[in-house]
Structure 1
Amino acid sequence: MLNMLKASLGIGAAKVDTVLESLFVEQGGTLKGDVVIKGGEVEQKIDAIRIELCTEIKVDIDDSISYQKHVLTRLDAVQTFTISADEIKQVPFELVLDNETPITELNAQMNQSKVWLETTLDIDFAIDPKDRDYLAVHPSSVVSQTIAAIEDAGFVMNKADVEKGFLRGQGFSSQSGCYQEIEFKNKGFLNKKEIELSFIVNGDSVHCLAEVDRSMSMRGDQYASFTLNRDAKAHEVESMVKQILSI
């Protein structure tokens, strides 16, 4: 009886550990691994296993900024089972990254982009055991080439973060309720410019929304959107970047 009470408080209860084949993944990629559950001091009933792909979003309300967990994708295994004391169970899984999963592997001076996998065991009348694994999300080839071309033009990646809201470009729109902004600045004085890029990977297509701000311009922020194939050639990427730089 004492052990049951302790387990309900999380002492000597079942534990969960998500073991991934790799913590490194590219935009549009698939995560593979096993949820490893180790029984505690007593037998417990597991009602469900929940795996969530999460990021942290910036919420700006009335000039007040806060940061919140945001779930991009959820995978639920809802078949109830019982795990005995000290028993070990492994549950394999695959999870495709959401199209709007932020890139974390960026050489920004201030990179606030985070992505993690959060695994939770649903146990009645107990503190649900959790495991969190941070992921290294790399840009797709087209996105990587775009970033490199912007930097080759004399811009420095200043900041990357994830904000609450939706994007809308020509022929595409975001769905997840958040979007990543990758901000670049040049070192010009009379021609000072900021460029913010947001990407959505959708199957074989990579959508890009560019926001350009010229500090000495009276036109305000200017927007342009583009769509390239994931296998786009170098000259296609260069053409898109030239259009962005010309704004």
Structure 2
Amino acid sequence: MVFKRLLGSLGVGGPTLDTVLDHGAAGPGQPLSGQIHLKGGDAGFDIERITLELVARVEAETHEGEHEGVIVFDRCTVGGGFRLAEGEQRNIPFGVTLPWETPITELHGQSLGVVLGVRTELAVAGARDNSDLDPLYVRPLPAQEAILEAFGQLGYGFKSADLELGRIGGTGQQLPFYQEIELIPPPECAHTVSEIELTFLTNPGGMEVVLEADKRAGLFSEGHDALNRHVVSHEGAAHRDWNAVVSSWISQLSEHHASHGTHSAHGHHDPYGSHAYKDHYDHGDQHGGHHRSGPGMGTVVAAGAAGLAVGVVGGIVAAEVIDEIGDAFECDDEGSGEEEA
């Protein structure tokens, strides 16, 4: 499916732009390729720059409550510096590499409810317009898939996934947001843990796996969140006993006592000495970090009012983009039979 839009800043008769991504989901840290189809308008235009942006719909906790918006987490120039003649058609192939921490959007082809997109900007004679938006699908890396499969085989079920604006302290996180995959424990564990939140922070050598368990309150103690971090390598992922590894991780979470307190996960206190704490986004303290200029699992798609629009790479993102990226996904679901340029 191709999403077309006449460049509004140029009016009727301006060039049109279609971005077509190659079929299939990409992987974190892996190449993303496609073609940009340009068609000249009623006159010649100087194409100064063609830019691709990776955008994500994220949630943020502020003093006013929880809000949702769109963030640009990567940007690169893929063409430009030529004149597009009247009525000329030109195809521009491109290949970019996704950031290693790019969230995953699907497992075994089933959506996790995370919304990512590729937006194409065309700079023409000094004017710039957000001219095209396509949904981006990201599959898990082998180690990520193996870990999720292990949770499934241990009886954990998928609840939801979302993107949280903020940082997890004590980790090597690079992007200004992180993905949380919420898992529901099997009945035999439900009396101690109500859910587990899983975060992958991936890098070229491996990844940090951050686990947060929302523990149920006992008879003489308050329920609290326990947080743990584990480092795994991409190498040999297919040969590890992931069921045993994940089972040991879960045991470590369960061993934390209620005496550790209730602020371990969402403040600057880190009682587990080594591992991690989550620091949600605060408008007064934007943490840095940006890149260059299984079976039986259900789906819960995050929904909410568009209350936040924050741009990390290149400034503020218009709030309308939230509706635009949502509309793009709806069109993609309904328009698989439409003609492509």
Partners of 1:152 and 1:39 in 2: CA distance: 54
**How far does the alpha carbon of each residue in 1:14-54 deviate from its partner, in whole angstroms, 9 at most, with x for none?**
11111222241122211112222111111112221110112
Contact kept in structure 1, 2:122 and 2:128, CA below 8 Å: no
Structure 2 unmatched ranges of 5 or more:
1-6, 254-341
Find the residue that maps to 2:249 and give its secondary structure: helix
1:54 corresponding residue in structure 2: 55
Q: Within the alignment, does 1:37 sit opposite 2:38 as a pair?
A: yes
Q: Within the alignment, does 1:244 sit opposite 2:259 as a pair?
A: no
Contact kept in structure 2, 1:10 and 1:127, CA below 8 Å: no
Find the residue that maps to 1:24 and give its secondary structure: coil
Find the residue that maps to 1:12 and give its secondary structure: coil
Task: Return the letter of the residue paired with 2:103.
Answer: P
Q: Relative to structure 1, is the Cα distance of residues 211 and 150 closer, same or farther in structure 2, using a 3 angstrom cutoff?
A: same
Q: Within the alignment, does 1:228 sit opposite 2:232 as a pair?
A: yes
Post-superposition shift, 1:94? Answer: 1.1
Structure 2 counterparts to residues 47-126 of structure 1, below 5 A: 47-77=48-78, 79-106=80-107, 111-124=112-125
Give the share of equivalent positions with the same residue, in percent.
28
Task: Return the letter of the residue paired with 1:167.
Answer: I
Partners of 1:213 and 1:60 in 2: CA distance: 18
Partners of 2:9 and 2:111 in 1: CA distance: 41
Structure 2 counterparts to residues 78-227 of structure 1, below 5 A: 79-106=80-107, 111-124=112-125, 128=129, 130-169=131-170, 172-188=171-187, 189-217=190-218, 218=222, 220-227=224-231
Partners of 2:213 and 2:143 in 1: CA distance: 20
**How far does the alpha carbon of each residue in 1:190-217 deviate from its partner, in whole angstroms, 9 at most, with x for none?**
2343111110221131221111111135
Q: What is the CA RMSD across the aligned residues, in angstroms?
A: 2.5
**Number of aligned pairs?**
239
Q: Relative to structure 1, is the Cα distance of residues 149 and 7 closer, same or farther in structure 2, using a 3 angstrom cutoff?
A: closer
Partners of 1:153 and 1:86 in 2: CA distance: 59
Partners of 2:111 and 2:101 in 1: CA distance: 20
Partners of 2:14 and 2:148 in 1: CA distance: 47
Tell me whether 73-82 or 173-182 shows the greater mean CA deviation: 73-82
Post-superposition shift, 1:145? Answer: 1.2
Contact kept in structure 2, 1:39 and 1:86, CA below 8 Å: yes
Task: Return the letter of the residue paired with 1:173.
Answer: G
**How far does the alpha carbon of each residue in 1:144-196 deviate from its partner, in whole angstroms, 9 at most, with x for none?**
11111112222211010001011234xx4211101000001125352343111
Task: Return the letter of the residue paired with 1:134.
Answer: P
Find the residue that maps to 2:237 and give its secondary structure: coil
Structure 1 unmatched ranges of 5 or more:
1-5
Post-superposition shift, 1:57? Answer: 0.8
Task: Return the letter of the residue paired with 1:240.
Answer: V
Partners of 1:214 and 1:74 in 2: CA distance: 39
Partners of 1:214 and 1:245 in 2: CA distance: 12
Find the residue that maps to 2:224 and give its secondary structure: coil
Post-superposition shift, 1:103? Answer: 0.6
Contact kept in structure 1, 2:142 and 2:238, CA below 8 Å: no
Task: Return the letter of the residue paired with 2:98.
Answer: L
2:271 corresponding residue in structure 1: none
Q: Relative to structure 1, is the Cα distance of residues 122 and 215 closer, same or farther in structure 2, using a 3 angstrom cutoff?
A: same
Q: Relative to structure 1, is the Cα distance of residues 32 and 91 closer, same or farther in structure 2, using a 3 angstrom cutoff?
A: same
- More relative contact order, 1 or 2 (CA 8 Å, 6+ apart): 2
Contact kept in structure 1, 2:121 and 2:128, CA below 8 Å: no
Q: Relative to structure 1, is the Cα distance of residues 126 and 75 closer, same or farther in structure 2, using a 3 angstrom cutoff?
A: closer
Task: Return the letter of the residue paired with 2:246.
Answer: V
Structure 1 stretches of 4+ moved >3 Å: 6-9, 109-112, 124-127, 233-236
Task: Return the letter of the residue paired with 2:226.
Answer: Q
1:3 corresponding residue in structure 2: none
Partners of 1:101 and 1:205 in 2: CA distance: 14
